[in-house]
Amino acid sequence: MENSLLIGLSRQVALAREMGVVANNMANVSTNGFKSRSPVFEEYLMPTARAEEFPRADRMFSYVIDADTPLDLSQGAVEQTGNPLDIAIQGDGFLVVDTPQGERYTRNGAMQLDNQGRLVTSDGWLVMGDGGPVAVDPEATDLTIAPDGVISSPAGEFGQLRLVRFDNPQALRNAGANLFTTEEAPLPALETATIRSGVIERSNVNSIMEMTRMMDVSRAYTSTASMLQRLAELQRTAVQRLGEPV
């Protein structure tokens, strides 16, 4: 009975983890360039035999463990904005931004100019070009961003956006504010990604699917909790009866 309680508890822990992932996806359904995650669980077989009153073959107990939360890198919907500083990255690529914690990576292409004429994200992070932060003449008009990331106007070019990719994008970790970090060295992405200007990539979260998953997880958690409660009651009843005088 103790093993049953532990197995049920492992299931509840896994479901709580899955609910957290689903809730985070739902919270970012309107976040530009957001990439959803999906939890992956594995079966863990406990090979240790348990002492029992009657000898029998060793049994293996099946537990649930949290294996990973892989990143869904599929393209989000592209929406027309008409703002020449808005971009959508098509293909395998990320923008590089400068933060107090160092370089971070994002798919959020909603950009604007700060009061110094530097290109920043909607959260205020400096967008990096091949030679550092990209500065644009505030007086420049008819700005355009080419598919290769070159920012220009009729007066000339101002720089080129730095696009990077990773051999193992699943190593990317969420760093908050729709940013990613990784220990892996970034690689140039101009051969695997292009830029569209005047549009924005939306979140790739499927709200209907995530809502369905949330309901399924909630029902499974409630069912497991009910089962654990019944097992606890059986254990309590057994203890009481065993303690009764014969």
pLDDT tens digit sequence for 102-120: 999 999 999 999 988 899 9
Predicted pLDDT at 14: 84
Residue-range definition of the domain harbouring residue 118: 78-201
Residues 219 and 124 reside in one and the same domain: no
Q: Where are the alpha helices (DSSP H) in the chain?
A: 2-27, 207-242
Place of tokens 């929406």: 79
**Amino acid identity at 91:** G
pLDDT surpasses 70 at 71: yes
At 49, is the pLDDT very low, low, confident or very high (cuts 50, 70, 90)? Answer: very low
Residues 101 and 153 reside in one and the same domain: yes
Residues 37 and 98 reside in one and the same domain: no
Predicted pLDDT at 54: 43
> Whole-model pTM?
0.81
pLDDT surpasses 50 at 53: no
144 or 243, greater pLDDT: 144
Count of the separate structural domains present in the chain: 2
**C-alpha–C-alpha distance, residues 35 and 28, integer Å:** 9
